[in-house]
Amino acid sequence: MFSKNTEKLESFVGSNSHFKGDIDTKGTLRVDGIVDGNVTADWVILGEKSHIKGDVAARGIVIGGRIDGNLKAKEIVEIKSKGQVFGDILTGKLSIAEGGIFEGKSSMHREESKIIEFQTFSR
């Protein structure tokens, strides 16, 4: 279902779990339960029954559940058909599937051009 993530799964909040506090982890965090706090990881994946009440910062965020907070992603934020985001989004790419809900403000940042310009010398 979530194929864009190339990082291996490092951390997991299960469907019957309720975590209070901030999470700061390397690799991918999969959330199927409830998190009351801010989340920082390389990638964050939310299952359809998950709920995060706090801000999320990552390279990529895939939302199948609900987030009440602001999102900051270096690469992509992807809201699936059952995903819900209530907060602002800052990202390089934003994808919202039909049925996905987003209430907030979105800002897109551009990556700096990696094209090298060569100077021409006349003889």
Structure confidence by residue, pLDDT tens digits, 42-74? 999 999 999 999 999 999 999 999 999 999 999
Q: Yes or no: say if 7 and 21 are a contact pair by the CB < 8 Å rule.
A: no
**What predicted TM-score, i.e. pTM, was given to this entire model?**
0.82
Profile the chain (123 residues) by mean pLDDT over runs of 10 residues. Answer: 57 94 95 97 96 98 98 97 97 96 91 59 59
CA dihedral 45, 40, 22, 33 (to 10 degrees): 0
CA distance 30 to 68: 17
| The pair of three-digit structure tokens given for residue 104, joined into one six-digit string | 């907030």
Q: Which residues face 61 on adjacent strands?
A: 44, 77
CA distance 29 to 7: 10
